[in-house]
Amino acid sequence: MSSTRRELANAIRALSMDAVQQANSGHPGAPMGMADIAQVLWADHMQHNPGNPDWANRDRFVLSNGHGSMLIYSLLHLTGYALPIEELRNFRQLHSKTPGHPEYGYAPGVETTTGPLGQGVSNAVGMAIAEKTLAAQFNQPNFDVVDHFTYCFLGDGCLMEGISHEVCSLAGTLGLGKLVAFWDDNGISIDGHVEGWFTDNTPARFEAYGWQVIANVDGHDPQAIADAIAAAKAETSKPTLICCKTIIGFGSPNKSGSHDCHGAPLGLEEIKAAREFLNWPYAPFDIPADIYAGWDAKASGAVKEQAWNEKFVAYQQTHPELAAELTRRLAGDLPANFAEKADAFIQESQDKSENVASRKASQNSIETFATLMPEVLGGSADLAGSNLTIWSGTKGISAEDPSGNYIYYGVREFGMCGIMNGIGLHGGFRPFGATFLMFMEYARNAVRMASLMGIPNIFVYTHDSIGQGEDGPTHQPIEQIANLRLTPNLATWRPCDGAETAVAWKSALERKDGPSALIFSRQGLPAQPRNAQQLSHVAKGGYVLKDCVGSPDVILIATGSEVGITVEAAEQLSDTGMAVRVVSMPSTSVFDKQDAEYRESVLPRSVTKRVAVEAAHVDFWHKYVGLGGTVVGMSTFGESAPGAVLLKYFDITAEAVVKAAKGLN
């Protein structure tokens, strides 16, 4: 006899309460509450193949309420992904594939890391944008080779987070008809019943965004859920929010409906009671064969993928160039001759020797690279004219025409970066998104998530210091660059002129295993002369830009807009007979990865007289200048005045560098 839907859902409930109990930590409430919804969605709608979690046209599933991780682990295990029961037994243990929150790259089938509430839904919006835009660029009559849904589970917590407003608002504007979100409306968050802190009219809120809202769905009634999903899929011009009334911890007779089961093990007594209540007589982690059979999606998934593969072969025959390009883009490979063309552009930038703001140099790089790479999907959080992110081939995407290569994100920095992460995870694009460096803080955690997940997105930051001037201290970064540099797996670049900027862009686009932050000035900067070897060493993150004869008396280390004044200072110091070396250090993290011999050749240990120069927080630089060195930089907030006045006022000048160097003993 085949299992009932409730029995199948109860397998999720049992696995969740048992795994949390075994780990003695975790969140049983959400998985037990959403199990019936998950059963209907995964059994009847999800287009996926457990045998190949990377199938390009799979539906994407995002558990934005990532604390309910046992829900997704149960689903992946039960449907047949390579996630054996031992992994569920090892929930939350070191080196298991089942960490406390779903981590991208651990269990097969986890599409994104979730846990920081609100960001999962931003990733889901990004995935839905990627699907829609990729489809518009590649599908042909009779060949819908890009054609999948993005499903997202979210709780009250995600809806309370501001980022959900940013991204759901944009999702409505962009008419993401294949995005379906399920709100776990259980009235509970950690502190208890949400009436005291969350009383929004959520359906009205989402209607105002332009979503289709299906309200008052009983999240424990499979037919109501099935009807809602059918209606969601039928609406192709708007995203859909299905508001599911659920009981947190459904099945736990004494703890369901209360925050007691949100984030703590139910306890052995209560688990026993829940087993009786659910009529689930099996031992922990023991799933009967007929329940496994009811969930198993391996055969049906293989058939679905096979049908798509056949369609793709026919597409390849009819549209060979498009098929080859789509294959390349989905693999994340650079176009043929990329390195050669990029190097020619770098040389050209060097030869031009233009004195421009590095944000302008960045725009020149974007022009070149976005023209070479149609997968570049640019954008800015309403600062295109300041960030200089528009190139001659820019085409904005809209609900009506999603085929473009640029997203007008509006004033939504955090949303932008979360969406970029979803786009990057989906595949087919190389997103970049821009804002003022100061506002990286609004988006900080999404940049961290890109770094944690290893998504090679590019975060573009302009107006990088007090040199930006009149906007004043609210807009003048001080500690932000250090913050970016301290983020593991983020490559941070602060180039000093056109050639360094071109190298930074090339390096960011060549990365496959993590994001890059590219930091640019508002003000004009002098181009630096370099010989061929120096030019090739820019990619090493730090190199000798100007040298003396013999061993240096002092080494000056600078980045970005301070390289120019540091070279000036070096000239003045040389005139007084000092042997001075200038090191340009556009990327400290890239420099740190070079071998010891190279690093020693740039910063010989024997030279302890060192000055670092950067119009940003001084503290970061002590690891390069040591206790014997000093730093010309900032340790207070800025002021409002023209940039040149401020640089003088705060002593970020060639004279200050000379004085600092002379003061070393």
Ligand X SMILES: Cc1ncc(C[n+]2csc(CCOP(=O)(O)OP(=O)(O)O)c2C)c(N)n1
Report, as residue numbers or ranges, the catalytic residues.
413
User: Which CB, 195 or 513, lies closer to ligand X?
Assistant: 195
User: Which CB, 199 or 606, lies closer to ligand X?
Assistant: 199
Shortest Cβ 432–ligand X spacing (Å): 25
Residue that is written with structure tokens 């890109």 in the block:
450
Which of these segments, 81-89, 188-196, 292-300, 627-635, binds ligand X (CB under 6 A)? 188-196
Shortest Cβ 445–ligand X spacing (Å): 8
Q: What is the DSSP string of 263-305?
A: SS---HHHHHHHHHHHT--SPTT---HHHHHHH--HHHHHHHH
- How many other CB atoms are there within 10 angstroms of residue 408's CB atom? 16
Shortest Cβ 161–ligand X spacing (Å): 6
C-alpha 248/C-alpha 265 separation (Å) is 13
List the interface residues with ligand X, window 391-420 (CB under 6 A).
none
List the interface residues with ligand X, window 66-105 (CB under 6 A).
67
Quick one: which of 13, 262, 275, 610 contacts ligand X (CB under 6 A)?
A: 262
List the interface residues with ligand X, window 160-179 (CB under 6 A).
161
List Cα–Cα distances, 387 to 379, 436, 515, 562, in angstroms. Answer: 10, 7, 19, 20
Quick one: which of 22, 96, 137, 189 contacts ligand X (CB under 6 A)?
A: 189
List Cα–Cα distances, 482 to 29, 83, 182, 561, 627, in angstroms. Answer: 40, 39, 39, 16, 19
Q: Which residue is nearest to ligand X (CB)?
A: 155
Regarding 115 and contact with ligand X (CB under 6 A), the answer is: yes
User: Which CB, 191 or 619, lies closer to ligand X?
Assistant: 191
User: Which CB, 116 or 633, lies closer to ligand X?
Assistant: 116
User: Which CB, 100 or 374, lies closer to ligand X?
Assistant: 100
Virtual CA dihedral for 363, 369, 372, 375, nearest 10 degrees?
-100
Which of these segments, 44-52, 155-163, 374-382, 404-412, binds ligand X (CB under 6 A)? 155-163
List Cα–Cα distances, 166 to 122, 171, 387, in angstroms. Answer: 8, 9, 20
Quick one: which of 26, 28, 29, 294 contacts ligand X (CB under 6 A)?
A: 29
* Signed CA dihedral, 37, 38, 43, 49: sign only: positive
C-alpha 226/C-alpha 363 separation (Å) is 49
Shortest Cβ 29–ligand X spacing (Å): 5
C-alpha 465/C-alpha 646 separation (Å) is 10
Which of these segments, 153-161, 235-243, 348-356, 400-408, binds ligand X (CB under 6 A)? 153-161
Quick one: which of 65, 150, 164, 405 contacts ligand X (CB under 6 A)?
A: 65
Regarding 552 and contact with ligand X (CB under 6 A), the answer is: no
C-alpha 659/C-alpha 511 separation (Å) is 40
Q: What is the rounded radius of gyration, in angstroms, for the C-alpha atoms of the chain?
A: 28
C-alpha 363/C-alpha 365 separation (Å) is 5
User: Which CB, 5 or 67, lies closer to ligand X?
Assistant: 67
Q: Smallest Cα–Cα separation from 491: which of 556, 537, 539?
A: 539
Regarding 190 and contact with ligand X (CB under 6 A), the answer is: yes
Shortest Cβ 468–ligand X spacing (Å): 30
Size of the site for ligand X (CB under 6 A): 19
User: Which CB, 126 or 157, lies closer to ligand X?
Assistant: 157
C-alpha 328/C-alpha 432 separation (Å) is 19
Shortest Cβ 30–ligand X spacing (Å): 4
Regarding 122 and contact with ligand X (CB under 6 A), the answer is: no
Regarding 249 and contact with ligand X (CB under 6 A), the answer is: no
Shortest Cβ 103–ligand X spacing (Å): 14
Shortest Cβ 155–ligand X spacing (Å): 2
Shortest Cβ 117–ligand X spacing (Å): 4
User: Which CB, 62 or 117, lies closer to ligand X?
Assistant: 117
Q: What binding mask, one character per residue, do residues 270-289 give for ligand X by CB under 6 A, x or -? A: --------------------
User: Which CB, 117 or 555, lies closer to ligand X?
Assistant: 117
Regarding 255 and contact with ligand X (CB under 6 A), the answer is: no
User: What is the rounded end-to-end Cα distance, in angstroms, of the chain?
Assistant: 87
Residue that is written with structure tokens 């061929």 in the block:
532
Largest CA distance in the chain: 94
User: What single-letter amino acid sits at 461?
Assistant: Y
Regarding 188 and contact with ligand X (CB under 6 A), the answer is: yes
User: Which CB, 189 or 358, lies closer to ligand X?
Assistant: 189
Shortest Cβ 36–ligand X spacing (Å): 15
User: What single-letter amino acid sits at 323?
Assistant: A
Regarding 30 and contact with ligand X (CB under 6 A), the answer is: yes
Look at residue 95 and give its three-state secondary structure: coil
Which of these segments, 152-160, 345-353, 391-399, 551-559, binds ligand X (CB under 6 A)? 152-160
C-alpha 623/C-alpha 186 separation (Å) is 51
What is the edge-to-edge ordering of all strands in the sheet holding 212-218? 60-63, 150-155, 179-185, 240-245, 212-218
Regarding 123 and contact with ligand X (CB under 6 A), the answer is: no
Residue that is written with structure tokens 């397998």 in the block:
11
Which of these segments, 74-82, 115-123, 334-342, 571-579, binds ligand X (CB under 6 A)? 115-123
User: Which CB, 67 or 609, lies closer to ligand X?
Assistant: 67
Quick one: which of 157, 222, 301, 433 contacts ligand X (CB under 6 A)?
A: 157
User: What single-letter amino acid sits at 533?
Assistant: Q
Look at residue 20 and give its three-state secondary structure: helix
Residue that is written with structure tokens 């460096």 in the block:
437
Quick one: which of 155, 219, 424, 514 contacts ligand X (CB under 6 A)?
A: 155
User: What single-letter amino acid sits at 325?
Assistant: E
Quick one: which of 28, 102, 109, 116 contacts ligand X (CB under 6 A)?
A: 116
Look at residue 576 and give its three-state secondary structure: coil
Query: In this structure, are strands 580-584 and 188-189 parallel, antiparallel, or unpaired?
Result: unpaired
148: left (phi over 0), alpha (psi -120 to 50) or beta: beta
User: Which CB, 17 or 583, lies closer to ligand X?
Assistant: 17
Pair 61, 34: CB distance under 8 Å: no
Structure tokens at 637: 């907030």
Shortest Cβ 67–ligand X spacing (Å): 4
314 sits in which H/E element:
helix 298-318
Shortest Cβ 511–ligand X spacing (Å): 27
Which of these segments, 13-21, 149-157, 436-444, 459-467, binds ligand X (CB under 6 A)? 149-157
Binding site for ligand X (CB under 6 A): 27, 29-30, 65, 67, 115-117, 155-157, 161, 184, 186, 188-190, 248, 262
